[in-house]
Amino acid sequence: MKDKVGIVIVSHSIDVARGTADMVRQMVGDTVPLAYCGGNPEGGLGTDVAKILKAIDEAWSDKGVAILVDLGGAETNSEMAVELLDAGRQGKVVICNAPIVEGAVMAATEASGGGSLEDVRRTAEELSPQ
């Protein structure tokens, strides 16, 4: 499984993140490394850089990790988490500009077929309005 691009789902809501991960698993099974996180450290709505870093570690693959986010704060905190990774990992993590649910399913589908990190990002981002 670690020979496939990993997927990380970051939402302001742990329920949204968990539900999205459930949907991905129902579509592609356990064929890709997958992790999710959501909520602030107190358990309310928000995101947390430490949780994102943990999710990146859980979904880590030498082929890279694609992150899907729900709102701007999730993207900002995901960018901060990527900046905290060692230099060797930073270049293997991308944040996709895609709808979180549809993007995660499409990214995971591409990853399950052995797509590269760039293929996974491109597939997820095809869903974004131009």
> What is the per-residue DSSP string for 61-84?
-TT-EEEEESSHHHHHHHHHHHHH
pLDDT of 130 over the 60 cut = no
pLDDT computed for residue 120 by the predictor: 98
Q: Which of 4, 10, 12, 103 is catalytic?
A: 12
pLDDT of 67 over the 80 cut = yes
C-alpha triplet 78, 24, 126: angle, nearest 5°: 65
pLDDT computed for residue 129 by the predictor: 63
Q: How far apart are the first and last CA of the chain?
A: 33
Fold of 6-125: Rossmann fold (3.40.50)
Q: What mean pLDDT is reported for the chain? A: 95
How much of the chain exceeds pLDDT 90, in percent? 94
Active site residue 76: no
> Distance between CA 67 and CA 65 in Å, rounded?
6
Q: What is the mean pLDDT of residues 35-59?
A: 96
pTM score, whole prediction: 0.96
